A and B are shown apart, each in its own frame.
Chain A
Amino acid sequence: MFKSLAPPEYLATIDREKCIRCKRCIQNCGWGVYSWGGDKVLINTSKCVKCLRCYHYCPEEAIEIVDNPTRFKQNAYWGYNHLRNIKRQAETGGIPLTGMGSDLPYTILFDSLLIDACQVTNPSIDPLREPMELRTYLGKKPSSVEFEKGRDGKLKLKTKMPPQLKLSLPIIFSPMSFGSISLNAQKVLAMAAKECGILMNTGEGGLHEDLFPYRDNIIVQVASGRFGVNPDYLNAGVAVEIKIGQGAKPGIGGHLPGEKIPLEVARARMIPVGTDAISPAPQHDIYSIEDLRQLIYAIKEATNYKPVSVKIAAVHNVAAIASGIVRAGADIVYLDGFRGGTGAAPSIIRDHLGIPIEHAIAAVDDRLRQEGIRNEASIIAAGGIRSSADAAKAIALGADAVAIATAALITMGCTTCGKCYTGNCSWGITTQRPELTARLDPEVYAERLINLIHAWEHELKEILGALGINAIESLRGNRERLRGVGLDTQILDILGVKPAGR
């Protein structure tokens, strides 16, 4: 067979002195790196993705995975990935795929923003001793409310409030479909969402019946492939999301290969087993904002007016698009920045289209305020939220809540190796191979994800306390409490943030 001229990225090595030939590495690797040679473990290092499953399961610490020291000649312009992709394309004529969010070194604005803290003139608040409120309601808010006095002299609401989604903290799980991830991974999300009082999102893959008990914590998604969509599905959660685009692959559709479509996935998606599930680039009944309006209201009619979220990728003109979405009747605008993850996307798209979420939040929040319609919809920000600090900064820029996916997968073992599209995930996350998915025990990993959410919850409370505020709504859009470091005047202007020192 022709040997690829793209050299292996990683070298899997086994210390033969330490190896006890237990074959656990062979068993654990979903990539086929290891095999049994009769008296020792053989290694095909070109298949290694450095997911570190074997490393963790080697009882003797005999395994080491190192970045291949043999690289193309160092070149600041013709980078490693350029050469590698060209060689692969020359060999296959195809589009190199990738998973996860872009890892290219674009400026990360979150890392150039610092949060304020109280000293003397206003006291900081100790979250261990004082109440600290993170509760968030997503949905359309009226611009004012009217009351009447009840017979008992107490306030009685006269205004009819639009439906609200209650979150015990402003973090939800981003959409990841059954098919792109395993059912066990979805169960982890659902169990954690329920325990933490937040929401998970089905993504475009229908809803497996095992998730029915979690309906109070589920947003169901409708996307361009309309997989699994029927009236029961639309009513199976607390809200419906129309997916227009995804941060990692704005403007293009999705492709779940037939290899990832066994019976269970096929049933949830309502398609034949083993067929490719192709989501078209646009929704073919939405070619304009007025078409979107029709779908929003069709869904509202079908669900007795549950909140409808519209998810878009953050693109250059995101502010105007978001304004249109709000005016079209959406209750929630979900913004997905270009760092957002994906199960499969052409790397050329993932790495070069869209804009960062930080710019998008600022632009959309500003625009909706200028137009006096900020109360008409909540903003969810997603696309590379790595920590509670990122979440706090996103909220201070103007988001109502953030959505996380990669961070949630990392609690399940993910090491961001970026090979989700292959269906070989050794951690049992982005695969449908039963021997791999079986190793992701939902109860065990739900506990880890719950721990993460609780940890971030504590951190957010500490941040609020340092800021001297005790309710998350006082951080939301409060850009006065952010400062930029090393950002130029124009970016500061776009973010609506002062430079540090001012």
Chain B
Amino acid sequence: MNHDYQKDISGCGLTGLISRKRRRIGGADIVKSLCLMTDRGNGLGAGYAAYGIYPEFKDFYAFHIMFDEPSVRWTLEEYLKNNYHIEKIEEIPTSPVKAIPIAPLLVRYFVTPLKDKMAGDIQEADFVVNTVMKVNSEIEGAYIFSSGKNMGAFKGVGNPRDIAEFFRIEEYEGWTWTAHTRFPTNTPGWWGGAHPFTLLDWSIVHNGEISSYGINKRYLEMFGYKLTLLTDTEVAAYMLDLLIRRQGLDIPSACLVLAAPFWKKIDSLPEGEREALTALRQTYGSALLNGPFSILFGHSKGLVGINDRIKLRPLVAATKDDVTYMASEESAIRAICPAPDKVWAPRAGDPVIVNLED
């Protein structure tokens, strides 16, 4: 277990929206919302994630991969071909942007695991997670930054406007969007360090600094996660993967782990609930994300917004018809939805959970 790592710290702005009715919304809205919060970023990282953008390949894992060196691509593809059926390979479409003179090679692969490579009774999702862990920690210069189905992350070093133009975000249509602008306080200037951070269908944008990072990281390592990015966001993403996908907690319970209620509140609950929440805190103490954060996490069935347990970072939510908006600032919502039906500031630790209709 390596302890001598340099943790990446940043402040940020985030925004997200979801159409419960799975109405696909163009990328222009989310770009406009994010670009309003210029003070929240310093041009050293921005990104977008969208769900429902690849309907024609919805049954395939969409691997978005960045290569620091074009030559690494062949090593990676060799590995992929040995383990996956590859339906399609294409470079991620980009436009030249003046402010982004240098970019890594960006390629997307629509793949499905080869059945005979999945040894024993390993689940398909675990197989994909293992691939992501292996590539990101062992194949130097290659980095899988998106690995879900019918969704994708687009991110890099630059301001929100430039990154949007570069990735031609406005050309995509999705029913869930999240976006993030960064204010890193020590930057490796690396594209992989931008948000959203994703694993399988999970995507996370995060504002804050998780003061419990050290124990959260060690807790995840106990379950085989390799934390290569050394960001708080990575911790949040893997924690959700562990709690929800691997250990079967539902989303509200997982939120009770990440932003656990205070003992004082738990003690005052009726017996059954008290017992349940006490056990949850006893068991998952090391998974509590302590310190300031607001997080939006998207998944294939919805979008969740959550704050730390004493609300040390802003989060505002609003609804208009079938769309729910969540952002660091109300202005970022009103920029694209001037007259919402309802606007509110979620209370500390109380998640806003929006599920897509089937």
Contact = CB atoms under 8 A, between A and B. Distances in A.
The contact size tier of chain B is 35 or more
Contact of A145 (B223, B263, B280, B290): B280
B264 A131 contact: yes
A374 B290 CA distance: 20
Contact of A369 (B222, B253, B270): B222
Given A144-B247, A155-B277, A477-B286, A469 B211 contact: yes
Most buried by A among B7, B11, B213, B214: B214
A474 to B, nearest CB: 4
Nearest to A135: B263
Interface string A141-160: 11111110010001111010
A228 to B, nearest CB: 32
A121 B11 CA distance: 7
B276 A481 contact: no
Contact of B218 (A131, A137, A470, A477): A477
A118 B276 contact: no
Contact of A468 (B214, B247, B262, B292): B292
A1 to B, nearest CB: 61
B279 interface: yes
Given A470-B309, A473-B285, A370 B292 contact: no
B89 interface: no
Nearest to B186: A121
A122 interface: yes
Contacts of B279: 145, 157, 159, 161
A480 interface: yes
A332 interface: no
Given A155-B277, A366-B1, A479-B3, A469 B290 contact: yes
Interface string A470-496: 110111111111000000000011001
Contacts of A143: 247, 283
Given A146-B248, A147-B253, A137 B4 contact: no
A375 interface: yes
Nearest to A472: B285
B80 interface: no
A155 B273 contact: yes
Contact of B212 (A121, A131, A478): A478
A471 B211 contact: no
A502 B4 contact: yes
A122 B207 CA distance: 11
Interface in A239-260: none
B276 A156 contact: yes
A124 to B, nearest CB: 9
B209 interface: yes
Contact of B211 (A370, A468, A477, A496): A468
A471 B1 contact: no
Interface of A is mostly: loop
Contacts of B212: 469, 474, 478
A216 interface: no
B139 interface: no
Most buried by B among A146, A156, A477, A498: A477
Contacts of B223: 372
A467 B214 CA distance: 12
Contact of A144 (B7, B272, B283): B283
B77 interface: no
A163 B326 CA distance: 41
A375 B213 CA distance: 18
Contacts of B263: 133, 135
B214 A471 contact: no
Given A121-B11, A156-B272, A498-B4, A473 B222 contact: no
Contacts, number: 138
The contact size tier of chain A is 35 or more
B215 interface: yes
B248 A144 contact: yes
B9 interface: yes
B310 A130 contact: yes
Interface string B176-211: 000000000100000000000000000000001101
A480 B213 contact: yes
Contacts of B11: 121
B288 A471 contact: yes
B7 A473 contact: no
B171 interface: no
A164 B282 contact: yes
Nearest to A495: B3
B6 interface: yes
Contacts of A142: 283
Nearest to A157: B276
A137 B212 CA distance: 19
B3 A471 contact: no
B104 interface: no
Contact of A471 (B249, B270, B275, B290): B290
A364 interface: no
Most buried by B among A142, A159, A374, A478: A478
Contacts of A481: 211, 214
B6 A502 contact: yes
Contacts of A146: 248
A374 B222 contact: yes
B214 A369 contact: no
B309 to A, nearest CB: 7
Nearest to B210: A122
Interface string B256-271: 0000101110000010
A125 B3 CA distance: 26
B173 to A, nearest CB: 36
A7 interface: no
Contacts of A154: 270, 272-273, 276
Contact of B3 (A123, A375, A468, A498): A498
B291 interface: yes
B221 interface: yes
Contacts of B275: 157
Nearest to A130: B310
Contact of A141 (B6, B250, B262, B282): B282
Contacts of A157: 272, 275-276, 279
A321 B279 CA distance: 29
A492 B285 CA distance: 26
B215 A474 contact: yes
Given A145-B279, A157-B276, A121 B209 contact: yes
B248 A471 contact: no
A56 B249 CA distance: 61
B345 interface: no
Interface string A95-126: 00000000000000000000000100111010
Contacts of B1: 366, 369-370, 496
A305 B58 CA distance: 52
The 6 closest A-B pairs by CB, nearest first: A480-B214, A473-B285, A474-B212, A474-B290, A478-B214, A144-B247
27 contacts: A121-B11, A122-B209, A137-B282, A144-B247, A144-B248, A144-B249, A154-B272, A155-B273, A157-B276, A366-B1, A372-B222, A375-B283, A467-B211, A468-B209, A468-B211, A469-B291, A471-B288, A471-B290, A473-B215, A473-B285, A474-B288, A477-B214, A478-B213, A478-B215, A480-B215, A481-B214, A496-B3
Given A144-B283, A145-B249, A161-B279, 4 more contacts: A122-B312, A369-B1, A468-B291, A477-B215
Interface of B: 1, 3-4, 6-7, 9, 11, 185, 208-209, 211-215, 217-219, 221-223, 247-250, 253, 260, 262-264, 270, 272-273, 275-277, 279-286, 288, 290-292, 309-310, 312
